[in-house]
């Protein structure tokens, strides 16, 4: 979920989370993604990855990944309550990238996760 003025859906973070899930499941995201549900669309298939984008109020950014099965579910949620969080990340990335050779980098590089 994001604020009501956000123009794109799903967000980049939501898309990245779905890409990671599809990759771990050895799937191509564009073949298994289901954006929202409406009407009589049938049962959810075992390979389907559902995604819903909500917009409202002044929400900076809430993302929840839900792993559900019969009788239980696990929910992993990240809630950003201030845009300052993202500004700090951008500053950290800028300080890191000026020390690098020319190239294409992402936040995983900045955070040392690769």
Q: How far is residue 65's CA from residue 77's CA, in Å, rounded to a whole number?
A: 7
**pLDDT tens digits for 8-36?**
999 999 999 999 999 999 999 999 999 99
Q: Is-catalytic flag, 31?
A: no
- What pTM does this model have? 0.80
Ranges of each domain in the chain = 1-81, 82-114
3-class state of residue 17 by DSSP: helix
Q: Residue 10, preceding bond cis, omega within 30 degrees?
A: yes
**Residues in Cβ contact with 79 at an 8 Å cutoff, skipping those fewer than 6 apart:** 61, 62
Residues with Cβ within 8 Å of 50's Cβ and at least 6 positions away in sequence, in order, are: 34, 37, 44
Q: Does residue 3 have an active-site annotation?
A: no
Q: What is the pLDDT of residue 13?
A: 92
Domain 1-81 classification at class level: alpha beta
Pick the catalytic residue from 6, 31, 63, 78: 6
Instruction: Note the pLDDT of residue 9.
Output: 96
Q: What is the pLDDT of residues 64-114, one digit of tens each?
A: 999 999 999 999 999 999 999 989 999 999 999 999 999 999 999 999 998
């Amino acid at each position: 979920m994001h604020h009501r003025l956000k123009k794109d859906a799903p967000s980049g973070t939501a898309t990245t989370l779905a890409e990671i899930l599809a990759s771990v499941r050895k799937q191509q995201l564009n073949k298994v993604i289901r954006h929202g549900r409406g009407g009589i669309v049938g049962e959810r298939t075992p390979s389907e990855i559902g995604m819903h984008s909500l917009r409202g109020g002044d929400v900076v950014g809430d993302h929840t990944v839900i792993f559900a099965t019969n009788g239980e579910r696990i929910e992993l949620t990240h809630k950003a309550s201030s845009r300052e969080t993202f500004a700090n990340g951008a500053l950290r990335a800028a300080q890191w990238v000026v020390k690098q050779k020319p190239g294409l980098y992402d936040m995983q590089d900045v955070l040392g996760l690769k």
